Structure 1
Amino acid sequence: MPAAVAAVFRLYLLRHAKAAWALPGQKDFDRTLDDTGFADAEIVAGMAADGGMRPDLVLCSTALRCRQTADAFRRAMTEDLDIRYVDELYAGGASVYRNVIGSQDSGLSALMVVGHNPVIEEILREILSEEAAIEAAPAGYPPGALAVIDFDMRPSADMLPPGTLTAWLDPDSHGR
């Protein structure tokens, strides 16, 4: 029996957890996670850590709700988790996300991107078939959900190759 081929690259796509509505005069950028969002981020981070899912690098939108979501992963995995904040992930479109994913050092084997919808869902649909994306997230990409995608070839700055969804962690499937 032939041995399974290891993935060349693993991408963790994480949509920030549920955020509170902006308060009067508050900028969207400064919205925080609400109580459900904090709990969901901890749940998904714990599930990922328990499953041995640990990225080499986390690239995170600078929006407060994304930073708070990424912090749950730092607490669940290790304090030395390498998290870098990328301004362009806050308002950037799919081309920005593609570029950020594809322009990483070739020695990197596992990358997590913490960002926003609708772009996170758009990237998921681009990497997977439309059918596979709908099967994973029939009602859309929920807040706090994590897609784990393996690639047989490395993404590049101008192209995300097809990938295989190897895990889907959704806080709503955890049962509170």
Structure 2
Amino acid sequence: MSLKLVLIRHAKSDWGDAGQRDHERPLAERGRRDAPRMGTWLAQGGHAPDLVLCSDAARTRETVALMRPEWPGTTEIRHEPSLYAAPPRQLLAALKGVTERCVALVAHNPGIGRLAAELADTIPDHPRFADYPTCAVTVLEFDAGDWSDIAKGRVAAFAVPADL
């Protein structure tokens, strides 16, 4: 059996309102353009998730809302407050009890980028992997039957919007 984990950093956010709370910051125009393109890239690669576990911040919710129409079939989306600004260990904890085989985590740096680096058996030869820019996506595959059994995974794909 195999499991697939899709690690998505939210798309570019809008910093135009200096007084706006971080949690409520929406996407910038560039983010609204990039998210559907990355959703299409995931679908074309056969990596559309069955379940999305998404931070409850405005920019992550908006990222998923723009990606979702590009994916075939139905995708359950759960907005999880615990994923907001979460470190890698907390992001992984969200997988506890999950039974779906292909799951996306949509969250924030530095946690999501660090998790991608920690789980990758080999770091992709890509100049942007280390800084994990907005709307970066890593697809990891694990030879495991349960999410509690994952360790290092094979990087099946990695891209940033500038690649498309």
Q: Same fold (TM over 0.5)?
A: yes
Amino acid at match of 1:88: S
TM-score normalised per structure 2: 0.90
The counterpart of 1:121, out of the listed 110, 113, 122, is 113
* 2:163 counterpart residue number: 173
What is the aligned length? 162
Answer yes or no: is 1:76 the counterpart of 2:65: no
Contact preservation (8 Å) 2:87, 2:112: no
Aligned pairs (5 A) from 1:4-43: 8-21=2-15, 23-43=17-37
How many angstroms apart in 1 are the aligned matches of 2:78 and 2:130?
30
Instruction: Summarize the alignment of residues 17-166 of structure 1 with structure 2, pairs less than 5 Å apart.
Output: 17-21=11-15, 23-78=17-72, 80-101=74-95, 103-105=96-98, 107-129=99-121, 132-133=123-124, 135-136=125-126, 137-153=128-144, 154-156=146-148, 160-166=150-156
- Quote the sequence identity (%): 32
Q: Secondary structure at the match of 1:147?
A: strand
Q: Note if contact 1:98-1:160 (Cα within 8 Å) is conserved in structure 2.
A: no
Asked whether the equivalents of residues 48 and 72 of structure 2 are also in contact (C-alpha less than 8 Å), the reply is: no
Q: Residue 91 of structure 1 aligns to a residue in which SS?
A: coil
Once structures 1 and 2 are overlaid, which stretch shifts more, 51-60 or 27-36?
51-60
Q: Do the aligned partners of 2:137 and 2:159 also contact (CA within 8 Å) in 1?
A: yes
Deviations 1:34-69 (A, max 9, x none): 011111101101111222222110000000000011
Name the aligned partner's letter for residue 119 of structure 2.
I
| 2:147 partner SS | coil
* Residues in 2 aligned to 1:79 and 1:164: alpha-carbon distance in whole angstroms: 25
Over alpha carbons, which structure has the higher Rg? 1
| Alignment correspondent of 1:3 | none
1:26 Cα offset (Å): 0.9
CA-CA distance at 1:90 after TM superposition: 0.5
CA–CA separation in structure 1 for the residues paired with 2:41 and 2:89: 30
Name the aligned partner's letter for residue 122 of structure 1: R
Q: 1:57·1:81 contact (CA, 8 Å) conserved in 2?
A: yes
TM-score if structure 1 supplies the norm length? 0.84
Gaps of 5+ in 2: none
User: Does structure 1 retain, via aligned residues, the 8 Å contact 2:50–2:103?
Assistant: yes
Distance in 2 between residues matched to 1:87 and 1:48, nearest whole Å: 25
